[in-house]
Structure 1
Amino acid sequence: MKTFKLKLLNIMEEKNGEIIPNHIPLLDGLIIDREDEKNQWTVEAYTERSLQPYFEELQASKSEVLIQVKISKESNAMATFITSIIGINEIGANINVLFIGNIVDKRKENIESLLTALIDEGFQGKELLEKFKELT
């Protein structure tokens, strides 16, 4: 297992047909790559108790929760996860919320999109490989 600092958490919510990030203020947090056979990650968000009803409602109403996080540094790119809430715990005057889920691999999606665009532009064979290397 590998453990990282959770720097930012957004709960992705659907409103009027759009996906909107709901920023959750963190007091602290961790993200753990469990390195298990299901490629699951655990996200622990330590936040204010005033958010407890929000998370309880989210847990009761949705089997899957789409989240975006920043790991280790604010300057890192956002990572997207499909998760479920597995626990909400009172800790002193605050709460922690535990999520478990899988990362959505945007890099693979981006690579596939780039390759498709290059093929649509007529690149093939060695020329396709050279153009792909140039752009990545």
Structure 2
Amino acid sequence: MKTFKLVSMHVWDEEELVDVNLEDGLIINKEDEKSKWLLEAVLDKKFLEFFSKLEKMDQEFPLQVVITKKDNDPAHFMTRISSINEFDQHINILLEGSLRSKRNEYAENLLDDLVSQGLSGENLLTEFKNKMKSKQRLSSSKK
């Protein structure tokens, strides 16, 4: 098993990407035969209702995370909530999931996102370069 720092997390809720502010987090590659990962996130208690709803649905949902350093490309997972633990001011969420793609598709997804926003020519190139440097989360693509 390999353990990494979870830097940021975004959850797809229907057609909206929800930015989940992490207090702390870890991600563990279990390196098992099913290629499963464990994600542990410590969050503000304001996210309890949101994650409780996802837990009750009892199905996988897409998740986008950045691992180790904030300038790394986002990794995309299909996850399911294993447990939610409530504390005084925080909650602890344990998720299990699979990496959606071993190949990083951030540049392709970013380009698709920018084109869908109507950008082209020099504006497209400028915005693409800026967002590739900042690794800003994508708003309109679940890939």
> Under a length normalisation based on structure 2, what TM-score does the superposition of the two structures give?
0.69
Name the aligned partner's letter for residue 56 of structure 1: S
Looking at structure 1, the residues matched to 91 and 99 of structure 2 have their Cα atoms a distance apart, in angstroms, of 24
Q: Secondary structure at 2:9's aligned position in 1?
A: strand
Equivalent residue, structure 1, for 2:35? 39
Deviation for aligned residue 1:29 = 0.3
Matched, 1:81 2:81: no
Looking at structure 1, the residues matched to 44 and 96 of structure 2 have their Cα atoms a distance apart, in angstroms, of 20
Matched, 1:54 2:74: no
- Counting aligned pairs with the same residue, the percent is 40
Q: Which runs of 5+ in 2 are unaligned?
A: 107-143
Q: Could you list the structure 1 runs, at least 4 aligned residues long, displaced by more than 3 angstroms after superposition.
A: none
Looking at structure 2, the residues matched to 108 and 71 of structure 1 have their Cα atoms a distance apart, in angstroms, of 13
Aligned residues: 106
Looking at structure 2, the residues matched to 45 and 65 of structure 1 have their Cα atoms a distance apart, in angstroms, of 16
Looking at structure 2, the residues matched to 108 and 10 of structure 1 have their Cα atoms a distance apart, in angstroms, of 17
Compared CA separation, residues 49 and 106, structure 1 to 2 (3 A): same
Matches within 5 A, 1:103-122: 103-105=99-101, 107=103
Maintained 8 Å contact 1:65/1:85: no
Deviation for aligned residue 1:93 = 2.1
Maintained 8 Å contact 1:48/1:94: yes
Deviation for aligned residue 1:61 = 1.9
Give 1 or 2: higher strand fraction: 1
Name the aligned partner's letter for residue 34 of structure 1: K
Deviation per CA, 1:53-105, whole angstroms, max 9, x where unpaired? 11101111241111000000000000000010000002342111111010011
Equivalent residue, structure 2, for 1:120? none
Q: Secondary structure at 1:107's aligned position in 2?
A: coil
Q: Which runs of 5+ in 1 are unaligned?
A: 111-136
Maintained 8 Å contact 1:86/1:98: yes
Equivalent residue, structure 1, for 2:66? 70
Compared CA separation, residues 2 and 63, structure 1 to 2 (3 A): same
Equivalent residue, structure 1, for 2:4? 4
Deviation per CA, 1:81-136, whole angstroms, max 9, x where unpaired? 001000000234211111101001152879xxxxxxxxxxxxxxxxxxxxxxxxxx
